[in-house]
Amino acid sequence: GAVVSQHPSWVICKSGTSVKIECRSLDFQATTMFWYRQFPKQSLMLMATSNEGSKATYEQGVEKDKFLINHASLTLSTLTVTSAHPEDSSFYICSARWPGGSYEQYFGPGTRLTVT
Amino acid sequence: AQSVTQLGSHVSVSEGALVLLRCNYSSSVPPYLFWYVQYPNQGLQLLLKYTTGATLVKGINGFEAEFKKSETSFHLTKPSAHMSDAAEYFCAVSAGGGGNKLTFGTGTQLKVEL
């Protein structure tokens, strides 16, 4: 159990376009999901906390108008990178919090975004 | 605020040798501590966690870690390395539970040599 998927696993887009990344908890309901960004050979940096039915909470320095997060259901959160630029190229990873006040997060396999 | 320091961005061991990956944390509240493993181009897999109680925690794949409050450390060990252990390892801390946001260390790349 506790499987989190991401789609797509990799995407290439042109500069100026938008791209949507989906994060799904397949076998549990997650009221809270997290979005991370990872540059090559670096650690994960939390971008935002996504709460079902409410606005996401963004970390300092993350542009909320550029990285749109929608947590429309208990099993799906989406991250849309708007007007993408080459510097947005990165590995994006989501995680979902196990329900019921637990302390565990389960991570998706990540999405490799390349902006040309 | 929390922070994590992982000493040694690269660690190399021989197959069968002891694995020791170091992690020190800073937290203003009792921490929850985690070790994750990441294989190339994949997400993170939880190895083990410390929340409360027993300070020596055992995880998957033969790994274990000991929470030492006096040293603010949570080092990861495995008695005998296997080739399949080669990966990136991240230590993470959460204040008030792992369900809250995690702060990750910079990671340690483990290489296992024959």
Nearest CA in chain B to A99: B99
Give the span between the Cα atoms of A41 and B52, in whole angstroms: 31
Q: What is the 3-state secondary structure (H, E, C) of A28-93?
A: CCCCEEEEEEECCCCCEEEEEEEECCCCCEECCCCCCCCEEEEEEECCEEEEEECCCCHHHCEEEE
Give the span between the Cα atoms of B89 and B45, in whole angstroms: 10
Query: Which pLDDT score is estimated for B60?
Result: 94
Predicted confidence band of residue B59 (pLDDT cuts 50, 70, 90): very high
Query: Which pLDDT score is estimated for A109?
Result: 92
Residue type for position A29: Q
Q: Tell me the per-residue pLDDT of B63-96, one tens digit each, with 9 for 90 and over.
A: 999 999 999 999 999 999 999 999 999 999 987 6
CA-nearest of B48, B13, B18, B52 to B34 is B48
Query: Which pLDDT score is estimated for B10?
Result: 96
Query: Which pLDDT score is estimated for A102?
Result: 61
Q: Both tokens of residue A102?
A: 């637990």
Q: Both tokens of residue A10?
A: 């990799």
Q: Determine the average pLDDT of the residues in B13-32.
A: 93
Chain A contacts of B59, Cβ < 8 Å?
none
Q: Tokens 């908890």 belong to which residue?
A: A25
Q: Determine the average pLDDT of the residues in B23-50.
A: 90
Chain B contacts of A26, Cβ < 8 Å?
none
> B19 — phi, psi (to 5°)?
-105, 130
CB-CB under 8 Å, B90 with A104: no
Query: Which pLDDT score is estimated for B96?
Result: 63
Q: Is the pLDDT of residue B98 over 60?
A: no
Minimum-distance CB partner of B98 among A49, A93, A105: A105
Interface of A with B in 57-86 (CB under 8 A): none
Give the span between the Cα atoms of B5 and B19, in whole angstroms: 18
Q: Determine the average pLDDT of the residues in B13-27.
A: 96
Minimum-distance CB partner of B42 among A34, A42, A110: A110
Stretches where chain A sits below pLDDT 50 are: none
Top-ranked range on mean pLDDT: pick from A55-64, A90-99, B10-19, B29-38: B10-19
